Every structure is written in C-alpha cells, then in structure tokens.
Amino acid sequence: MTLPSAASAPTLEASIGPSKLPRVGTTIFTVMSQAALDHQAINLGQGFPDWDCDPRLKELVAEAMGAGHNQYPPMAGVPALRRQIAAKQERLYGRRYDADTEVTVTAGATQAIMTAIFAIVRPGDDVIVLEPAYDSYVPSILLAGGRPVFVALQPGARIDWARIRAALTPRTRLMLVNFPHNPSGMTLQPDDIAALEGIVDGHDLLLMSDEVYEHIVFDRAPYLSLARSPKLARRAMVISSFGKTFHVTGWKVGYCCAPAELTREFRKVHQFMVFTVNTPVQHALARYLEDPTPYLELGAFYQAKRDLFVSGLERTRFKPLPCSGTYFVLADYSAISDLPEAEFSMKMVREHGVASIPVSAFYDQPFEQQLIRFCFAKGDATLETGLERLARV
C-alpha cells in the first residue's frame, strides 16, 4: 500500500473530522483559576480545600507502598476497601451491598459517572439531567449516544417534581441526581425521596446518584442517600468519592455501589476504561476507613465554615441562598450589578480580587439568574479576607 504524498495527504483537522464534543472548550473553572492567579485574587471559585489531608492518611499510603502493594489490584478494587465501603453504607444507610458483587472502586467519581452512563445508555436513550448540573454529565451522555433532557431546578427552592415527571418519555432510561447538590447546596427532603419512589414505580428507568458530598450535610439533618430507600436502591448506581470526604481531591479514588445485575454491566465498562485504580492508595483508604470519626465529623467541620462565610456575607450586598450541604453557597448579586454572571465574576476577580464561578456555567443553554457560586472549603483567614473584599463590592 502506498501512502499519499505530503502534498495530497488530508490535513490533520480533516482526518480528525467534526468534534465529537463541539461545545466543550476550556472550562470556566480553568479560566477563573487562571484569572485568580493573574490578579492575585482569593480563589473562592474552584471546589477543593486549600489545606492538606490528615498526615496519618499519607503515612498509610507510604506503609502500603513499603509493604509492596504496588502492582495491579483486582479489577473491582482491593477487597479490604470494598468491604469497608460496604460496611460504611450499611452503617449509615442501612443497605447491605455485597462487597464482591456490588461495590466497585473507581478512579474518582468522574470515572464512575462516565462508566455508569456508558454501561446503561444506548444511542437514542433519554437521560434526565437536573440543571444546574456538574459539568461531566452531559459530555458523558453525548459520547454514549444518549440525549440529555434538561429539567431546571430552582436554586434555593424545593424541587419541582411535576416538572421532572413531565419530562419523562418512554425513551427515558436513566435519571441523574446529585444531592447534596453542586452548585446550589440543596439537599433532598423525605418527601423528595417519596416523589422519586413514585417516579420509579411508574416508569421503567434507572438512577445514577452522585453522592460525592454525602458527608457534608448541615444542621444535624440525616443524609438521605438513595441507598436508604429499598425501592430506589434496587434501580440505582450510587457513586461517591474519597476526594471530597478526606480532603484528597487529587487522589481520584471513588466508588460505585449498585445491585449485582447493574454492577455486572458497570464492571464490563470499568474493566476497559481504567481496569484498576491506584493500589497503595486503596490499601491506605481501607485502613483509614476503619475509624468512622473523620467522615462523621465532616458535616460539623464544614458547617462552621458555612456559618462563618454566610454570616459574613450579611455585611455585604450579596444575598446568600440557603445552603444545607456541600461546600458551596450561591449568592445573588442583583443588588450590585445587572451584568451577566460570567462578566460579573470576571469583573470581581479583576477589580475586587475574589474569584467565584458564574452559575450559568452549569447550564447547557445560556441562562442568567444573577447568581455566582462561592466555595467555602478554604482556611478561615482566607474566608475572612475574601469577605472583607466582598464587603467593598
């Protein structure tokens, strides 16, 4: 076979062809973080803590490496870690997942989300996405050939289940839920669980529940994992991440708990998407999970930060929306400016030295509500400085 000469060879762009994700570009998170660096701003934009994890957790990783846990672990995850995850789910949510057949360790929640969607969604399937939505959902659905069907949540208000029911079609195959919710800080209430149970009673659909903020719930409310409801858990892939729980977002280890039939399909994709996940970190997490204190105390830890930040916002012209979970709070700036959200956020970094995220970034189509998202997973001194600057806006 002869190769075409350089002159007649198609350009690289022609060979690549139309993008599979034409609307994906540099994300607002990257843009705002760069702007924060450029303007030496306080970065209340990106969602990760600005402190280090528990030194014991790092020691446990070093110990695992020292003990020679450095080769491929089993495809589904280190058994001791799967057992700890199953024990935690049972202790907290009363659902017994079989560690061998119903728990899979993943490379963070993001991989679990894409794997779950790839395992279930076929070309032409509808997938319900509640907006504002975490940014990996829609690209994963599109790459699987599915069609995202958007239903708007109203940040700060109760979930409008009638709207969700109205969006269901015979093609609806999967519904994505994420509570505590990024970016709004909303959590589910018992009647939300009942409404969701009503939906699965009447429709043949599956659920993917992104529960990465499961341990960051405030005001002593119990966390209503979908795993608590036998009706929902039967049809749900419940996903979480140690990144959020143990302040190690860079480690990218998470998991998916689902009934054995669903897990079987999930693992078929997982096997070829990543095959396995970092061995020493899995061993370390298994040992760290033996003591539930760190995750049981997480809600109170972040609640103190929420209270500091939200009460501080009272000295500003920003109006915080209610926040019952996560480490994010939305703020209404309509008393300050009429600018669209992205422009307002950029102006805040440049002129006031505080980075935030425009909520419009979490919507598929342009949608303006004069809301920005602040992340309060920052040291108290950083939050105080941020608040002083916000008070001058």
Ligand X SMILES: Cc1ncc(COP(=O)(O)O)c(C=O)c1O
Q: Would you say 76 and 82 are in contact if contact means Cβ atoms under 8 Å apart?
A: yes
Nearer to ligand X, 215 or 252 (CB): 252
Phi, psi of 271 (to 5 degrees): -55, -35
Q: Would you say 208 and 177 are in contact if contact means Cβ atoms under 8 Å apart?
A: yes
SS3 367: coil
As measured in angstroms, the least distance from the Cβ of 29 to ligand X is 9
Instruction: Specify the DSSP class assigned to residue 352.
Output: I
As measured in angstroms, the least distance from the Cβ of 284 to ligand X is 16
The DSSP annotation for 330-349 comes to: EEE-TTT--S-HHHHHHHII
Nearer to ligand X, 69 or 181 (CB): 181
As measured in angstroms, the least distance from the Cβ of 149 to ligand X is 19
As measured in angstroms, the least distance from the Cβ of 182 to ligand X is 4
As measured in angstroms, the least distance from the Cβ of 95 to ligand X is 21
Best CA proximity match to 240, nearest among 112, 356, 153: 112
Number of residue whose CB is nearest ligand X: 108
Best CA proximity match to 356, nearest among 338, 339, 369, 343: 343
Nearer to ligand X, 109 or 286 (CB): 109
Instruction: Specify the DSSP class assigned to residue 134.
Output: -
As measured in angstroms, the least distance from the Cβ of 181 to ligand X is 8
Q: Which tokens is 262 given?
A: 């669903």
User: Which residues of the chain form contacts with ligand X (CB under 6 A)?
Assistant: 47, 108-110, 134, 178, 182, 210, 212, 241, 243, 249, 252, 254
Nearer to ligand X, 208 or 331 (CB): 208
Q: Which tokens is 17 given?
A: 């062809």
